[in-house]
Structure 1
Amino acid sequence: MIRRAERGRLKVYLGYCPGVGKTYQMLQEGHRLREEGIDVVVGYLETHGRAETAKLACGLEAIPRRRVEYRGVPLEEMDVDAVLARKPQVALIDELAHTNVPGSRNPKRYQDVQDILAAGIHVITTLNVQHLESLYDTVEGTVHVRVRERLPDSVIAEADQIVNVDVTTEDLLKRLQEGKIYKADRIEAAMGNYFKTSNLEKLRELTLRELASQIDLRRREALEEERTAAPDQVMVALSSRGPNSEMLLRYASRLAGRLNRNWYAVYVQTPSEEPTVIDAHTQRILSGTLTLAKQLGAMVFTYKGEDIPATILRFAKEYRVGTIVVGTPTPKPLWKTLWRKTTVERLIHEARGINVVILDTRKEEPPEIKTPQEAPAPPIPEPSLPVVPGASPLSGFLAPERIVIWDQPVEKEVVLRTLAEAAVSGSGEVALAAVLTNIAKREEQGSTFLNEGVALPHARIEGLRRPVVAVGLTRKGVSDVSTEKPIESVFLILSPEEAPEIQIQVLGQVSRASRNRELARNLGICRSPADVISAFRDWETLVGAIPRKTEFKS
């Protein structure tokens, strides 16, 4: 039931600016593949009125677009269902970062592409570097442009092949002046705004750095897979209304990517910020911040505590954090600073052996400038997406007796007790009471039942010799847990007390699995423990078998 066809491969033509030739090269490859006998179609093409691009598209089969009307305006979108029904070997899909019109199959085009890949269709696509979520602040600060349409860095990280489409800034400006990028009435405005030489050079440098970073990450992935643990994880300390929390998250995402480490976004909930006390506006801000953290690949935790620095450092010790990222403290009256240190000052003073990075978050918002080729789009919240690629050996921790499926609503206490019983059943290593006590202590610090519909309860257990994972699937949610999305899957993780690095490793693997949309859909149709194990094995084989260089052959 769950066995799928082989997943398609993803190839991305990455550029630093409109007009460098991404779409042109994508179409050229489409013709090459067609000549080799490969079944190629154009899933979506945006010519932007460029005659050369439109001419090159001739001879390639194009899937008719889906016509929709939004607020009285007729629009055209890619017809994902038609692409899936046609089932070509390769689909050419332009502008990966595009935001779909409300009511579409998915909010974003990259999610459409993921659905097409899941059907076994290879995809060749295009993307400009400024659309990467983690580069938003960098682009805004250096080029003074606020990019509205963005996608998670994981989309690029999971691509099988990235091709840098590069031309010199001089050649690009020449093309602009010759009318090969925009019509004559737009050229002067473009050269005085986005197409300034300084802007183009900065964007080109960003693209080259990003490509180098991806190459380095993929080189180190094989080495990291052999390590039993990755010390010095990265952590972001969040406050409910901290200025520019998004900047902290994007910085930490880039840092963790460079270090090839797990990273955590931790919000310390004080008694004054309990859900019953905090105001609705602050709750919305906090919810948006935590959602972005999840999108960027963080493991998000809420910890309860009255002493914020002590709670942060307790978490850092438990999860082997080597770098804590915080924002600039809010200015306080002089008389308050004489008697009481700020949270940041205490972290610096008390964080023995931990690096504390302080970002200047006192940043003024620049005026919004649309990037070229970007059509106005209604604000749509970005969905959570999977992040780091690589096979996770979770199926090796699973057994049919440690998998539970509830068809009716179930209470949190029942979920935790049932999974704990399943985890320790027949092992003889640890007592059920000790497991339940440790799980309860962890839940008291902050719920591991997350807004994204996933729960990650975990505990380190004295006397346990190897990690154990128990999985619970809830078809109608956990009745007494209030989350934005009903809890659909619960992963109970038990690890040896004396080996904290194992907990970090397994928790990271489970977190990555829980963010995978394909795996979540497959788990949603599982009817037995055997189906669940099969779904995990299929996913692990699929992700682990994807080569980094893609060749489409008949």
Structure 2
Amino acid sequence: MENNRPDSFLRLIQRSRRGKLKIYLGYSAGVGKTFQMLQEAGRMKENDIDVVAGIVETHGRKETEALLSGLEIIPRKSMVYRGIEITEMDIDAILRRQPSVVLVDELAHTNVPGSQNAKRYEDVEEILAAGIHVISTLNIQHLESLYETVEQATGIKVRERVPDRILAMADQLVNVDCTTDDLRQRLSDGKVYIAERTETALANFFRSENLEQLRELSLRELASQIDSRRRNQPVEDSQTNPDQLMVCLSSKSRNCETILRYASRIAGRLNRNWYAVYVRTFAENPAVIDPAVQRMLSNTLTLAQNLGATVFTYKGDDVVKTILQFAHEYRVGHIIIGNSGRQLSLWQRIQGRKTIVERLIGECRGISVIVLDTRGEETLKLRKNPVPSLSGIRETLLQVKPPEQSWKTLIRNVQPILWEHVVEKEDAFRTLLHECCRLAPEIDENEAMRCLLEREQQGSTFIGEEIAIPHARLERLNKPLVAIGISKVGIYDPNSSNTARIMFLVLSPLADPNSHVKLLGIISKTASDSQWKSRVLRAADKKELLKILRTYP
């Protein structure tokens, strides 16, 4: 993606105020990711850059070990798990050492239970938040949104996965590539695994057809990232076509993970905001719903957040009406929903009843409805098309460009409110609303509060990950407004028992729905930045917090 010389990455380092991330991306073990990472580290050391090896897996490869021998290595931390001593990267030692650059191999690695973080990519996020630059490695099959695609292409279930947002937040991506024949030859020569594992590897994962599929996925993903970043430049917005994507979820949906990953791929390729919306009917009250279904639903909503969606939960018995109301409010242009295969009886048909999918297609206007077949795994087996066709969708959605840089100015210029104690939701609303009314005297504070609470009744705006985004559209408002409140102890919603520590309160003109959607999109991206959240919550006082807000890119 970038020229594979240290100069460009060095320039990023020299002008940065927080950690930058560079990832060497490959399609399989043995293509040379770790080798190239160590080569770059050697060049950095020659340029007097303070670079250390946080954790590097050589797998007994002599050439790799030779490159590592000249670098400072942070000693690993030993842990005992089920009577076995296991070593892991010592993140505390890295933070104490404070190098300029640290090498962290195998980004998708799962840490031993009891570690500071469950996943190595979470270690990397913590290191980046401390202002240390990271160079890492990753194989394409570990990307979360490609789970089903990789399984369909290779027949292999990948256990260790990395959220797409980690790849998206990388400042530089380097594709490490070689032909599949060369890789198999390297394996046969004992340059990838020890001799005892070679024959088994060649007969299983390293089959030519598997490697070709993975290599294609790797090249397509890299091209997608390049295209996404090219189109993410500030340009004039189109005001005509809706551009957001929406996924419909329910407690009865089958293969929700497949639907979410499909939506994530489309949204990522087309650089669009997307939402996961769960409409909870009155029959699905948490007090009566089956605990196993509750756990499945909770896992689904967590996956949606990890894949980059903004998650909303609404209450209502008319699911289709609620979906379409959301689509209208958020300028959704494409609705993605699963088809469970449920059939209505002949008597129900005579009565004029329709399925949710049929009603949705019949009642929506100006919105494309994408129906995915989620009737069971048997319909997915043996499929060999790694990436669904984007024909038609791409041409429509690419007409609309992402929000302009000026929208971020609203967040940068906010005067934040700090609470040193637990704050109840409505008290937080009133405090932040008062701040907005101070900036815009034309607002009727009581009416605005009513609108906020009315929106809250439709579904909690405490979206998880310690974030709440209450919002409303007002008639008398002339321009969008944002207020931010932070409580390190917590903001508590007594109705839903949800908590948050960062609250964005958003008010926008009723006559300008575009501004509402743009602002929510910017805030969603800001709130999903784990480095930004970590810095905000660590801020010692309002002065430091203002500095963080002013300098956020």
From 444, 459, 472, the counterpart of 1:446: 459
Compute the TM-score of the two structures, normalised by the length of structure 2. Answer: 0.88
Task: Report what 2:520 is aligned to.
Answer: 507
Task: Report what 2:418 is aligned to.
Answer: 405
Q: Does 1:88 align with 2:88?
A: no
Paired residue type of 1:42: A
CA contact (8 A) 1:42 1:63 kept: yes
1:185-210 CA-to-partner distances (Å, cap 9, x unmatched) read: 22221122111111100000000000
Task: Report what 1:534 is aligned to.
Answer: 547
From 256, 264, 270, the counterpart of 1:245: 256
What 5-or-longer segments of structure 2 have no aligned partner? 1-14, 382-401
Compute the TM-score of the two structures, normalised by the length of structure 1. Answer: 0.88
CA distance in 2, matches of 1:135, 1:46: 24
Task: Report what 2:325 is aligned to.
Answer: 314
1:456-489 CA-to-partner distances (Å, cap 9, x unmatched) read: 1101111211111112223332344376873212
Task: Report what 1:383 is aligned to.
Answer: none
> How many residue pairs get matched?
516
- Secondary structure class of the residue paired with 2:38: helix
Q: How far is the alpha carbon of 1:495 from its aligned partner?
A: 0.5
Task: Report what 1:77 is aligned to.
Answer: 88
- Secondary structure class of the residue paired with 1:487: strand
CA distance in 2, matches of 1:160, 1:195: 30
1:66-465 matches, cutoff 5 A: 66-224=77-235, 231-335=242-346, 336-339=348-351, 340-364=353-377, 394=408, 396-397=410-411, 403-425=416-438, 427-465=440-478
CA contact (8 A) 1:408 1:474 kept: yes
Distance 1:67 1:517, change over 3 A: same
CA contact (8 A) 1:397 1:468 kept: no
Query: Bigger shift: 233-242 or 48-57?
Result: 48-57
CA contact (8 A) 1:133 1:151 kept: yes
Task: Report what 2:506 is aligned to.
Answer: 493
Distance 1:20 1:426, change over 3 A: closer
CA distance in 1, matches of 2:413, 2:541: 12
Paired residue type of 2:410: G
- Secondary structure class of the residue paired with 1:190: helix
CA distance in 1, matches of 2:241, 2:514: 7
Paired residue type of 1:363: G
Q: How far is the alpha carbon of 1:49 from its aligned partner?
A: 2.2
CA distance in 1, matches of 2:309, 2:240: 17
State the identity %.
52
CA distance in 2, matches of 1:281, 1:225: 47
CA distance in 2, matches of 1:152, 1:392: 28
CA distance in 1, matches of 2:240, 2:467: 24
1:335-372 CA-to-partner distances (Å, cap 9, x unmatched) read: 345542111111111121111111122232899xxxxx
Query: Bigger shift: 497-506 or 200-209?
Result: 497-506
Q: How far is the alpha carbon of 1:329 from its aligned partner?
A: 2.7
Task: Report what 1:524 is aligned to.
Answer: 537
Distance 1:71 1:225, change over 3 A: farther
CA contact (8 A) 1:136 1:146 kept: yes
CA contact (8 A) 1:397 1:467 kept: no
CA distance in 1, matches of 2:547, 2:179: 50
Distance 1:224 1:278, change over 3 A: farther
Q: Does 1:30 align with 2:44?
A: no
CA contact (8 A) 2:462 2:468 kept: yes
Aligned residues: CA RMSD: 2.5
Paired residue type of 2:501: E
Distance 1:80 1:390, change over 3 A: farther
Paired residue type of 1:103: G
Q: How far is the alpha carbon of 1:231 from its aligned partner?
A: 2.8
CA distance in 1, matches of 2:216, 2:518: 34
CA distance in 2, matches of 1:251, 1:91: 34
CA contact (8 A) 2:334 2:368 kept: yes
CA distance in 2, matches of 1:15, 1:84: 28
1:238-257 CA-to-partner distances (Å, cap 9, x unmatched) read: 01131111111111111111
Q: How far is the alpha carbon of 1:532 from its aligned partner?
A: 3.2
Distance 1:398 1:43, change over 3 A: closer
